[in-house]
């Protein structure tokens, strides 16, 4: 063999070796990234090659699949039963715009590509397995009660079983039907939904933190009792009325000027929603102690998954004394999701213990065998049993004799706290109406914690209140849960 042929052979061999190394690298190390790449149509074809598994509510599927007619390679597309009712739970599965929420988190189970669904023969041959299903904790009666009660209002509601952390209801309005965007040619519907100023595709229950207003007073009261600033909810506080914010000449008014708020007890201050009491209480405790209690309740947690990730509810840290006082009434830069405020009531209802909120009970294969169970989620103590009991008692006073009479349920123990949160430049916008509560029915043994926010009801500013707008919605949800 002459020198030229030998050199050519060596170069060809090196090129073959380089090619083999590259192929090995792509298959062994980059395979998953390529498979998950949104431009990889093969993944999309596999996802919709067979009917998808179901998302189950109350023992019945609220999702389905239909054979497509306009695509040769995408054989099936997602369908939804009562799509608007459950959109905040399911999310959407779209051939054009991918998947969100439960549809996205469990997409590999629902399309049969999850490795846990494959038997050894399937794994060897690469055959696609039968899809699994996602079983939710949602109670259809609670869900429908919330959806119907919210109606055409812009807002959201969350209901939690305090003893287990199971999310019984999660509604965001206005809603949308995910079936409208499940195919490949739904661009017009997609554009309409995204251009809608009311943002129907935003899950307000999880993803829209807003100023919680006076509902945050429960957190401040819990901090004061745990710290020992006050011995009980019936101890008179040191709260002048009118109250001037520390270091300023700004007087903080009370909504009800004739209410007995001067040096009021925590019970009375919650009953009449006295701003002076809780602003002074927050200033006396200081931002660190109030912030620590807020954090125990779930604020400032950037990784709160249910399993859909919720937006972070925020208690600010960089504040002066006047700003700290304003946080005592849920203003300044305090924000919370309805999920977060439902967690506050849930912890108090469960004797001071916060069960981890979750809206999936289990993920199962095609035969119904459990792949993942969420029934035994961890819990943590937030406040002492004594503090929880006292605050429940004060919340009952709010419903029986105070600002939340619209939440009463005959024969059941109901406790709650209303809130009206200012927002906009110089508080120029229509306030948000809040209500957070719990209900227990001794005859059924059932209990529930609820939070409702109404962002916009079309009502005049003077008619906006937690009791007038949010409490009746919570009442419908609580009745559905405990009765």
pLDDT confidence of residue 287? 98
The residue-averaged pLDDT of 399-409 equals 97
Identify the helix (H) or strand (E) that includes residue 285. helix 275-285
pLDDT score for 237: 98
Look at residue 278 and tell me if it is in a domain.
yes
**What is the tally of structural domains in the chain?**
1
pLDDT value of residue 8? 78
For 220-271, how does the pLDDT look when each residue is reduced to its tens digit (9 = 90+)? 999 999 999 999 999 999 999 999 999 999 999 998 989 999 999 999 999 9
Sheet holding 133-136, edge to edge: 60-61, 55-57, 133-136, 360-364, 370-373
Q: What is the pLDDT of residue 36?
A: 55
Determine, yes or no, domain membership for 159.
no
Structural domain includes residue 452: yes
Residue 272 lies in a domain: yes
Above pLDDT 70, what percent of the chain? 91
pLDDT one-digit tens code per residue, 348-384: 999 999 999 999 999 999 999 999 999 889 999 999 9
Domain-located, residue 36:
no
Stretch 436-463: mean pLDDT: 90
Strands 413-421 and 432-441 come out as antiparallel
Question: How much is the pLDDT for 347?
Answer: 98
pLDDT tens digit sequence for 311-329: 999 999 999 999 999 999 9
For position 462, what pLDDT does the model report? 63
Per-residue pLDDT tens for 30-56? 555 555 555 556 666 666 778 999 999
Q: What is the pLDDT of residue 388?
A: 98
> Is pLDDT larger for residue 121 or for residue 457?
457
Would the pLDDT of 123 be above 80? no
pLDDT in tens, 10-37: 778 888 887 777 766 666 555 555 555 5
- Average pLDDT of span 123-139: 85
Q: Is residue 35 part of a domain?
A: no
Q: Give the CATH number of the domain where residue 297 resides.
A: 3.40.710.10
461, part of any domain: yes
Select which of 65, 214, 239, 313 is catalytic.
Answer: 214
Is residue 386 among the annotated active site residues? no
The mean of the pLDDT values for the chain is 92
| pLDDT score of 44 | 65
Answer whether residue 404 shows pLDDT above 90: yes
Model pTM score: 0.90
Nearby residues of 192 by Cβ (< 8 Å), 6 or more positions away: none
Average pLDDT over residues 268-294: 98
Mean pLDDT of 121-126: 60
DSSP-assigned states of every residue in 3-68: HHHHHHHHHHHHHHHHHHHHHHHHHHHSHHHHHH-TT-HHHHHHHTSSPPP-EEETTEESEEEEE-
153 part of a folded domain = no
Write the burial class of residue 446 (CB in 10 Å: 0-12 exposed, 13-18 middle, 19+ buried).
Answer: middle
The parent domain of residue 316 ranges over 207-358+379-482
């Amino acid at each position: 063999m002459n020198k030229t042929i030998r050199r050519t052979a060596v170069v060809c061999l090196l090129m073959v070796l380089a090619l083999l190394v590259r192929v090995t690298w792509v298959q062994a190390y980059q395979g998953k990234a390529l498979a998950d790449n949104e431009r990889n149509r093969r993944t999309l074809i596999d996802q919709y090659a067979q009917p998808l598994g179901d998302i189950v509510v109350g023992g019945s599927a609220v999702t389905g699949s239909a054979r497509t007619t306009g695509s040769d390679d995408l054989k099936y597309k997602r369908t939804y039963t009562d799509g608007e009712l459950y959109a905040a739970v399911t999310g959407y599965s779209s051939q054009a715009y991918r998947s969100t929420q439960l549809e996205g988190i469990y997409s590999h189970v629902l399309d049969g590509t999850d490795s846990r669904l494959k038997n050894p023969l399937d794994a060897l041959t690469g055959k696609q397995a039968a899809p699994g299903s996602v079983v939710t904790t949602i109670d259809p009666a609670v869900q429908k009660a919330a959806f119907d009660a919210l109606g055409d209002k812009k807002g959201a509601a969350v209901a939690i079983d305090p003893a287990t952390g199971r999310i019984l209801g999660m509604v965001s309005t206005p809603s949308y039907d995910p079936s409208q965007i499940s195919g490949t040619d739904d661009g017009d519907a997609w554009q309409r939904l995204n251009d809608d100023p009311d943002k129907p595709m935003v899950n307000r229950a999880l993803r829209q933190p807003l100023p919680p207003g006076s509902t945050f007073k429960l957190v401040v009261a819990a901090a004061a009792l745990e710290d020992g600033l006050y011995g009980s909810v019936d101890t008179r506080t040191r709260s002048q009325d009118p109250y001037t914010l520390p270091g300023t000449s700004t007087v903080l008014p009370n909504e009800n000027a004739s209410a007995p708020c001067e040096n009021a007890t925590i019970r009375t201050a919650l009953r009449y929603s006295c701003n002076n009491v809780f602003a002074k209480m927050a200033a006396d405790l200081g931002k660190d102690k109030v912030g620590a209690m807020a954090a125990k309740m779930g604020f400032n947690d950037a990784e709160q998954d249910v399993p859909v990730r919720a937006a972070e509810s925020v208690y600010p840290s960089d504040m002066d004394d006047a700003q700290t006082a304003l946080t005592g009434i849920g203003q300044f830069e305090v924000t919370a999701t309805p999920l977060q405020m439902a967690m506050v009531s849930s912890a108090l209802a469960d004797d001071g213990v916060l069960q981890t909120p979750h809206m999936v009970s289990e993920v199962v294969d095609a035969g119904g065998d459990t792949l993942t169970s969420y029934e035994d989620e961890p819990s943590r103590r937030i406040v002492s049993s004594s503090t929880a009991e006292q605050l429940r008692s004060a919340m009952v006073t709010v419903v029986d004799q105070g600002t939340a009479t619209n939440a009463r349920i005959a024969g059941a123990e109901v406790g709650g706290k209303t809130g009206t949160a200012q927002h906009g430049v110089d508080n120029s916008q229509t306030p948000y109406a809040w209500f957070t509560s719990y209900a227990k029915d001794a005859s059924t043994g059932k209990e529930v914690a609820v939070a409702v926010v109404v962002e916009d009801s079309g009502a005049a500013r003077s008619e906006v209140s937690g009791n007038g707008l949010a409490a009746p919605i919570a009442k419908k949800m609580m009745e559905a849960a405990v009765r």
